[in-house]
Amino acid sequence: MLEVKNLTFKVKENGIDRSIVEDISFTVENGEMLVITGPNGGGKSSLAKVLMGIEKADSGQIILDGEDISAYDIDHRANAGIGYAFQQPPRFKGMTVERFLSLAAGRPLTENEVCKMLSGVGICAREYLKREVDGTLSGGEMKRLEIATVLAKAHKLCIFDEPEAGIDLWSFSMLVNQFEKIHKKKEEMLILISHQERIIRMADRIMVIEDGRIKTIGPKDEVLPALLDKGPVCTCMEC
């Protein structure tokens, strides 16, 4: 179980503190999928980065399966069982796709295993094994590869930041299938940040973040109708 208690993250703007994440508390149960949505600039990615340890919280607590991980750095949180796929994945010149996935899995993978992982996110496998994880990969290829790195290993908690961004229709359907498969097993907690209705519909619970605060959190059946009425959710396949 993930317990987030009174999490606040501030930045300095022109010498003045600005709260990007303000006193946010929520839980994610084992096997649960929580989808976080809300208007652009609301603080969703910042919250994810604070959970992963990329940004440091000013106050609050993060407890994973009873272990207080608030003071842990990124590596330590990854070892504690958190996997994270960036909204805009970083690139690694000189590293092959094959090695990148083996590092993510934490063990040497066979070619067949790498191919299976790549196929799972809609990447035409063998052609990519020796490609470098650099600027020669397209945005959509990089995004899918990044998602494959999180899926390469079992985690307690996986966080995917806008997995739909820049992904074509066919690959998007494959990704949705992957998320559904993990969700069905109920072995990992999933936090998906998304504006995409098809992803939001997979949620057990939905959390809406606006101006750095939780605006609503609740079961999908309660939150989604109001969301669809008001319309911050995107039904197109391009964003």
Ligand X SMILES: Nc1ncnc2c1ncn2[C@@H]1O[C@H](COP(=O)(O)OP(=O)(O)OP(=O)(O)O)[C@@H](O)[C@H]1O
Residues that bind ligand X (CB under 6 A): 11, 20, 40-46
| Residue whose CB is less far from ligand X, 20 or 69 | 20
Nearest approach, Cβ of residue 109 and ligand X (Å): 32
Closer CB to ligand X, 62 or 152, in the complex = 62
Shortest distance, position 126 Cβ to ligand X, whole Å: 34
Measured from the CB of residue 43, what is the shortest distance to ligand X in angstroms?
4
Smaller CB separation from ligand X, 41 or 225: 41
User: Which residues share a beta bridge with 209?
Assistant: 214
Of the two residues 43 and 163, which places its CB atom closer to ligand X in the complex?
Answer: 43
**Shortest distance, position 116 Cβ to ligand X, whole Å:** 31
137, 213, 214 from 43: Cα distances, Å? 28, 8, 10
